[in-house]
């Protein structure tokens, strides 16, 4: 399989996460060690986060900032940005 190939999601982009429930897709990726250490350090300092939430939040932030207009992605980005910041956790940014 080509590394740029993604399976098409059957969920309509007009439906939000709360409308369809949360469906999960398992993924495996190689990342630079410096990012892994940063993620591990961040999670160690912020117990309300885990690796799955951090990666999901980072992907949502990237997609929104690069023009994604999918309502569910935008909802995830905004939830992480505002809800997590209210409980004292940083808004999805890694510290080094």
Query: Distance (Å, rounded) from C-alpha 92 to C-alpha 59?
Result: 10
Please give the average per-residue pLDDT across 23-29, as a whole number. 85
Would you tell me how many other CB atoms lie within 10 Å of the CB of residue 89? 17
Q: What is the pLDDT of residues 77-96, one digit of tens each?
A: 999 888 765 554 454 454 44
Dump the DSSP string for 6-43: -PPP-S-TTS-HHHH------------HHHHHHHHHHH
State the pLDDT at residue 82. 84
Query: Backbone dihedral region of 58: left (phi > 0), alpha (psi from -120 to 50 degrees) or beta?
Result: alpha
């Amino acid at each position: 399989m080509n590394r740029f190939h993604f399976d098409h999601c059957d969920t309509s982009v007009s439906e939000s996460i709360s409308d369809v429930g949360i469906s999960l897709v398992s993924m495996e990726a190689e990342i630079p060690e410096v990012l892994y250490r940063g993620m591990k350090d961040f999670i160690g300092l912020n117990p309300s986060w885990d690796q799955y939430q951090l990666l999901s939040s980072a992907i949502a932030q990237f997609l929104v900032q690069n023009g994604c207009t999918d309502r569910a992605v935008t909802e995830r980005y905004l939830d992480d940005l505002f809800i997590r910041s209210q409980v004292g956790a940083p808004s999805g940014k890694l510290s080094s």
